[in-house]
């Protein structure tokens, strides 16, 4: 990357107040950053702002910002000059009103710009070649078509050279009437190549006519019971009784700006256009001591490769975060629908291509949930039962990326555990197939309509700081006792720990046969039993990648080739597939990060964990998908000297049963129980 040499320009306008160095940029700060750039030597008529976000200050040695003076408030600007076909990065000092640095990034392409997305459909529909392809399919009312601007992926060398335009490859769908579910009628075989720099259609490929599927797939209330819809339910269920979640004394969490405290947890909630939700400075108060666990955690990338060879589908390989932006795609959430209970919302603030701030109201939802029992035991001799109820703090946001919805959820538990979960819903990407035929690389969901096989891979970056910044990572396998003399009954087994010593060893894979997990420990901190304190990463929903060497997506998505990557902390390394995956074939990101083989023992380590959804489509996924759930957990292992949820207070038993259905009395502790017939 080459840095420009012009001197910084100054904009003398008042800087907005700053509450904490890690607070996300406000709308005023975003617009101030854009104004500073426009007024500088770097501002041109063709410069567009891709993303403007907080330039996070350097991580303090003690992980907290207590010392004065406060670090400068800076914005990180990604811009694109379409006339020069050039991505540029800048750091803007919002306090001084100056551009601190401005760097050209040749050979890279930006993620989508909002103004481009809004205009693609209109230009495509006006193109005579596209119109002729529609007429060949009997479509003459172009107002009923919808054109989705898919990222181009990478077809070959023609898509990436010194003067390549920024491309997308839109796909077309046809509604039967305005507002109807358009994905029920995909236009098979028509692929548009679109120049986003010139906002013009480059080419229209037509691989042959496939009849449009006959049936609607409507799910909206206004269409659901219409004649001809499939399935045509008679009415909504009439046996769904209200569930009301109330907290008469209010929620147990407190919020001060972006600082959250709940039970013994504390953290900061951040948000930016690329990653969406970011958690900072996650720690747990243990016997009066604030103990850090993670310094920063966020989705780092995701990719959705499709496994169908049809012309309209084989090139679908979207990096929804790096090519589009999860924060830019965030939904404004609705009480009682997206979130239920005593809710606190954080707005998300992003930018348009002119540098104007856009507020997404209620972009992040936070609330408490009851989570069943935390722990319980009944003494069968005395009949005394002790039980405590668990609950969790939920911090989430939902992004709509074209046809799919992705819900990203962090859960904090009363026993010190952390869970990350992705909920996948929305609408399948569909293909048309002649009546009577069955797809080889997908499954039918309706007559003449199928969903291609595909996968979703999500990589989460976790900057660990378990009881401090110096950590090590151990791979833990459970194996039969290897010494026959110590295993006379063939029932004994041990755990074997393997230290991940350097980044060349940092790409790790899960192993079912050994119940493998990974443990992050602090070698300089031991518990009362003499073991290093730690947290373990517990895999869940592990799926093998179907990406094959030789495919156009293989190198671009190298992060999916291993379940876990471990790297040494580098503030410049944030994204598993690199900073600019759009239209680039290179193996960016994690393969580059580990190339220097940095040591990983007793140092500042980062975990990159990939979870996957293996989607072999079902009829039940149509016309809108029930939620699928994938994720992983982080659990304390030797971090505490005992059960950290032991201090949960008893709760009064309450009963809201139908008459005669149950009998409740007393409290959830000290209640005699029926004697047990046997030990278990």
Where in the sequence numbering do the catalytic residues fall? 320, 404
What are the distances in angstroms from CA 193 to CA 120, 131, 199, 218?
Answer: 11, 15, 11, 29
Tell whether the torsion through CA atoms of 569, 570, 572 and 575 is positive or negative.
negative
**Which neighbouring-strand residues pair with 262?**
253, 265
- Return the DSSP state at 571: T
- How many angstroms separate the CA atoms of 21 and 31, rounded? 18
What are the distances in angstroms from CA 210 to CA 136, 301, 337, 450?
Answer: 10, 35, 38, 13
Letter string b/e over residues 594-613, b meaning 16 or more CB atoms within 10 A of that residue's CB: beeebebeeebbbbbbbbbb
Exposed, middle or buried, 128 (CB in 10 Å: 0-12/13-18/19+)?
A: exposed
Q: Could you tell me which of 484, 506, 489, 494 has the C-alpha nearest to residue 606?
A: 506
SS3 at position 125:
helix
Letter string b/e over residues 401-421, b meaning 16 or more CB atoms within 10 A of that residue's CB: bbbbbbbbbbbbbbbbbbbbb
- What would the 3-class secondary structure string for 163-214 be? CCCCEECCEEEECCCCCCCHHHCECCCEEEEEECCCCEEEEEEECCCCCCCC
Residue 224 C-beta-side C-alpha neighbours within 13 Å: 10
For residues 540 and 512, the answer to whether their CB atoms sit within 8 Å is no
Q: Could you tell me which of 604, 368, 370 has the C-alpha nearest to residue 465?
A: 604
């Amino acid at each position: 990357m080459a840095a420009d040499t012009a001197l910084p320009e100054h904009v003398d306008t008042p800087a907005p107040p700053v509450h904490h160095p890690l607070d996300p940029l406000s709308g005023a700060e975003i617009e101030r950053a854009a104004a500073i750039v426009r007024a500088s030597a770097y501002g041109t008529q063709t410069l567009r702002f891709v993303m403007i976000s907080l330039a996070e200050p350097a991580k303090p040695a003690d992980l907290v910002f207590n010392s004065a003076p406060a670090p400068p408030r800076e914005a990180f600007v990604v811009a694109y000059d379409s006339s020069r076909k050039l991505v540029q990065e800048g750091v803007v000092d919002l306090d001084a009103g100056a551009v601190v640095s401005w760097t050209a990034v040749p050979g890279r392409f930006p993620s989508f710009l909002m103004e481009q997305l809004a205009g693609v459909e209109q230009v495509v529909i006006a193109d005579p070649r596209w119109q002729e392809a529609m007429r060949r399919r009997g479509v003459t009312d172009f107002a009923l078509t919808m054109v989705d601007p898919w990222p181009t992926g990478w077809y070959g060398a023609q898509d990436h050279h010194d003067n390549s335009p920024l491309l997308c490859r839109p796909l077309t769908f046809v509604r039967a009437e305005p507002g109807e579910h358009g994905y029920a009628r995909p236009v098979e075989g028509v692929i548009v190549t679109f120049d986003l720099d010139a906002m013009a259609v480059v080419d229209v490929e037509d691989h042959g006519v496939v009849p449009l599927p006959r049936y609607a797939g409507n799910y909206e209330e206004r269409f659901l019971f219409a004649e001809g819809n499939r399935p045509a339910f008679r009415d909504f269920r009439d046996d769904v009784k209200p569930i009301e979640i109330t907290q008469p004394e209010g929620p147990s969490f407190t919020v001060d700006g972006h600082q959250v405290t709940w039970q013994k947890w504390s953290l900061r909630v951040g948000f930016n256009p690329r990653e969406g939700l970011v958690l900072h400075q996650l720690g747990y108060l243990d016997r009066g001591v604030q103990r850090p666990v993670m310094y920063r955690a966020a989705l780092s990338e995701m990719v959705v490769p499709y496994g169908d060879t049809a012309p309209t589908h084989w090139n679908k390989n979207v990096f929804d975060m790096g090519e589009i932006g999860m924060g830019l795609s965030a939904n404004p959430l609705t009480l009682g629908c997206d979130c239920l209970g005593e809710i606190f919302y954080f707005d998300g603030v992003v930018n348009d291509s002119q540098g104007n701030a856009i507020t997404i109201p209620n972009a992040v939802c936070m609330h408490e949930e009851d989570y069943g029992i935390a722990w319980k035991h009944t003494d069968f001799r005395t009949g005394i039962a002790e039980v405590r109820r668990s609950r969790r703090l939920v911090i989430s946001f939902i992004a709509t990326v074209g046809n799919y919805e992705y819900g990203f959820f962090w859960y904090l538990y009363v026993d010190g555990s952390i869970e990350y979960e992705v909920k996948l819903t929305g609408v399948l990407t569909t293909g048309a197939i002649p009546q009577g035929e069955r797809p080889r690389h997908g499954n039918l969901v309706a007559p003449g309509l199928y969903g291609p096989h595909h996968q979703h891979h999500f990589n989460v970056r976790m900057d660990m700081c378990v009881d401090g910044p110096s950590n090590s990572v151990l791979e833990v396998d459970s194996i039969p006792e290897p010494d026959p003399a110590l295993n006379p009954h063939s029932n004994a087994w041990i755990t074997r720990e393997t230290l991940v010593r350097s980044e060349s060893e940092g790409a790790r894979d899960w192993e079912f046969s050994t119940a493998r997990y990974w443990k992050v420990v602090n070698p300089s901190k031991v518990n009362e039993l003499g073991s290093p304190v730690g947290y373990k990463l517990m895999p869940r929903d592990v799926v093998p990648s179907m990406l094959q060497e030789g495919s156009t997506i293989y190198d671009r998505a190298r992060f999916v080739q291993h379940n876990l990557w471990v790297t040494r902390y580098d503030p410049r390394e944030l994204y598993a597939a690199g900073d600019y995956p759009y239209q680039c074939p290179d193996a960016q990101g994690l393969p580059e990060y580990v190339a220097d083989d940095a040591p990983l023992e007793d140092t500042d380590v980062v975990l990159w964990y990939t979870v996957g959804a293996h989607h072999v489509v079902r009829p039940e996924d149509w016309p809108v998908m029930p939620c699928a759930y994938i994720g992983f957990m982080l659990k304390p292992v030797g971090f505490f000297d005992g059960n950290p949820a032991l201090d949960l207070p008893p709760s009064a038993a309450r009963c809201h049963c139908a008459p005669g259905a149950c009998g409740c009395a007393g409290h959830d502790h000290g209640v005699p129980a029926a004697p047990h017939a046997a030990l278990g």
